[in-house]
Amino acid sequence: MKKTALIAIGGNSLIRAGERGTIDEQLKNAHATARCIVQMVAQGWRIVITHGNGPQVGAALMRSERAASDVYTHPLDVCVATTQSEIGYIIQRAMEFELREIGLLTPVMTVLTQVKVDENDPAFSNPTKPIGPFYSKSDAEEKQRTLGWHIIEDAARGYRRVVPSPEPVEVFEQEIIRKILDLNMIVIAVGGGGIPVIEREKYLVLGREAVIDKDRASALLATGLGVDLFIISTDAEKVCIDFKKPTQHGIDIATADEMQKFYDQGQFPAGSMGPKVQSAIRYLRNGGKKVIITSYEFLMDALDGKAGTRIVP
């Protein structure tokens, strides 16, 4: 039986530092990632792709707010749904092209995905999830004053708007995703962490103004599907200890318990590597087999144990 891998792609991997984020730029970046993923397909892996949407959902919300006097507005959950379609379309196009370039006709499908959250989650009163572009301190303070935004300094790169980020509880479309995999199709799902919804009664769901962390939602889906490998694609080859210090060094392989100790020491900030390491630990402690954290350029080497950070139970 074919092995299954879930690959979580960061929203920033489609919009690189210094880029405006045009569709052409995102397509170019998606092709670069897709070229690496299709090599896994060629080796016989079944693939689920998930993705972030931090820059894109911030842009969608900004468009809605700026055009509010002329057209109807979109609440944040609808912005997440919009970006699921937008980014799914971009990745699907890139994957289909790159598959055919190597002679594969594997179908690719994007699944609009709802993820259940707890309406009493304390995250709703404590926004922490960065979205949208980076701002200077003065611009951020102006938006905070005039628009009521919650602003934080993000990873020493500037200031960003933050919104609630509740914990994912259930991926509603999980069994649909499983059935599509069984048809030997590539699935793109849980875009932007999934559309955040609460369940009031059977079959009644209500959207909530939030953005779920895509790595946590991806870990939940990876656990539910029982995948053989959970890959978190980021902008670094390896997870590092003592980041940006003279003693910085990358982690080649570690256990979940060892990564937890590093996390407890404050090695992985909440605004960067923290959620990825947390998600890896959750997946492994819930029966997962192996996690790889690396950038897409090193994906094939990481599968061979020659690059990236491997985390095992």
Question: Which sequence positions are flagged as catalytic?
Answer: 11-12, 129, 214, 276
Q: If DSSP states are collapsed to H, E and C, what string results for the chain?
A: CCCEEEEEECHHHCCCCCCCCCHHHHHHHHHHHHHHHHHHHHCCCEEEEEECCHHHHHHHHHHHHHCCCCCCCCCHHHHHHHHHHHHHHHHHHHHHHHHHHCCCCCCEEECCCEEECCCCCHHHHCCCEEEEEEECHHHHHHHHHHHCCEEEECCCCCEEEEECCCCCCEECCHHHHHHHHHCCCEEECCHHHCEEEEEEECCEEEECCCCCCHHHHHHHHHHHHCCCEEEEECCCCCCEECCCCCCCEECCEEEHHHHHHHHHCCCCCCCCCHHHHHHHHHHHHCCCCCEEEECHHHHHHHHCCCCCEEEEC
